[in-house]
Amino acid sequence: MSTNASGWVGPYLLVDGRPSPLVGVEVHNSSSSTGAAIKKSLDTVHALGARTVLAPVAWDLMEPEEGGYDFSLVDALITEANSRHLKLIPLWFGTWKNAASTYVPAWVKRDPARFARSELRDGSPSTQISPFSAAARAADARAFSALMRRIREVDVAGTVVAVQVENEIGLLGDSRDRSAAAEAAFASTVPAGVIDAIRTDVAAPVHRDWVEHGRLDEGTWEVVFPQGVRTDEAFMAAAYASYTEAVAAAGRREYSLPIFVNAWLDADSPLDGPIPIAGGKLPGDYPSGGPVMTVASIWRVLAPSVDALALDAYVDDAGPHFAAFAAPNGRLLVPELRADVKGAAQLFLAIGRYRAAIAATFGADALVAGDLEFGVLLDAFTLLEAAASIIRRSPDAPLDAFMAQP
């Protein structure tokens, strides 16, 4: 197996010098908002037998005043995780979290003239930062860079093993941004990389649209593609991927940890041909432009500093989604599964059949001993840590004994 500079060995992350899957818990959004909350949530993760914790780092708490950073919560996460022998994956809640700009600092929220908002077709107000805001992109990149620099400086034990940048990116309420900057971009030349990505991604719906529209290699979005929501989704994917690349690349220049982004999938995601369509709905009903399979090729081309596209899999039939996300480069990351019996079964499926690099249940830090789900997950994490120990010794070892159907 080959190792690259950012810490991968085949499908796995390199952890303490060895390839290893990471099985753990993504804690609730507020579980890393105070020192006391961090200790309480990490105590539960440890008691469950998980050895990896995924925890938010909120931009508004880290940079309450522009240029003034407060790393106390970041430091506490690293210290408390290390003291419990947990590996840590910070989740950067920067410009977007669940397709909303909830965690941007107050100084960003107060200045829509500087940090432009997206605009929707129906004219309804939007509080979401537009991916076409150069000022927001630069501010987010500076903050993420500061976070990665702080991790490099204080994490002497190697507790932090990867970082998620942003969270469930995309536009809700419309298929594309209608702000002035967005309209100008839509009327401009399609980046060559986007056309190259769509040309080769024959399974993508927008590929079929492009072919039927004449296979044009150059022109504006309105010329190269037909009007419609799939063109809008591709346009937004290019915008979000480019924005994310600027943020991820800035962070990587400070500390070259593995970086991933995660996709929002609707609860009843069916399949359309060989690739999942998020929710079976229209872009805008789910976050348009997010890193779902319909536009994954655009993300891979325009965000090369992102190592993997991950999925939050609140679905009953997770296997097809796991297969689709793992197919391009063999890397499967599932940072959010249900914290219940179904989610526990899908942990086994992800690790055993699809050799996931990361598999975690969301919100299990709210469970208490005696809960049915607590006992189920305790057993699951115990068995899966045994599987991880096998993989650390022999990454190609057969894992049939650890496979399960969801």
Torsions phi, psi for 315 (to 5 deg): -130, 155
Residue 359 sits in a domain whose CATH number is 3.20.20.80
In whole angstroms, give the CA distance from residue 74 to residue 57.
Answer: 7
Identify the pLDDT of residue 7.
86
Within-domain flag for 220:
no
| Mean pLDDT, residues 92-108 taken together | 97
Identify the pLDDT of residue 403.
59
Give the rounded percent of residues in the chain with a pLDDT score beyond 70. Answer: 93
In whole angstroms, give the CA distance from residue 94 to residue 271.
Answer: 31
Cα angle 79-97-376, degrees, rounded to a multiple of 5 = 60
| Residue found by looking up tokens 């982004």 in the block | 261
Within-domain flag for 259:
yes
In whole angstroms, give the CA distance from residue 271 to residue 207.
Answer: 17
Within-domain flag for 187:
no
Is the pLDDT at 306 greater than 50? The verdict is yes
Is the pLDDT at 35 greater than 70? The verdict is yes
**For the chain, counts of helices (H) and of strands (E):** 14, 13
Identify the pLDDT of residue 107.
98
Identify the pLDDT of residue 266.
54
| Mean pLDDT, residues 89-105 taken together | 97
Within-domain flag for 228:
no
Within-domain flag for 278:
yes
Within-domain flag for 182:
no
Which residues fall within 8 angstroms of residue 375, CB to CB, at 6 or more apart? none
Each residue of 177-188: pLDDT tens digit?
999 999 999 999
Beta bridge partners of 144: none
Within-domain flag for 264:
yes
The shares of helix, strand and coil residues in the chain, as percent rounded to the nearest 5, are: 40, 20, 40
Each residue of 245-267: pLDDT tens digit?
999 999 999 999 999 999 998 54
Identify the pLDDT of residue 16.
92
Which residues fall within 8 angstroms of residue 378, CB to CB, at 6 or more apart? 47, 48, 49
Each residue of 327-344: pLDDT tens digit?
999 999 999 999 999 999
Is the pLDDT at 95 greater than 80? The verdict is yes
Each residue of 156-200: pLDDT tens digit?
999 999 999 999 999 999 999 999 999 999 999 999 999 999 999
Task: For the full predicted model, state whether its pTM sits above 0.75.
Answer: yes
Identify the pLDDT of residue 393.
87
Q: Which two tokens stand for residue 276?
A: 């999942």
Beta bridge partners of 68: 65
Tally of domains within the chain: 1
Domain range holding 388? 8-175+235-402
Is the pLDDT at 272 greater than 70? The verdict is no
Within-domain flag for 202:
no
Identify the pLDDT of residue 405.
43
Q: Do residues 310 and 293 lie in contact, with contact meaning Cβ atoms separated by under 8 Å? A: no
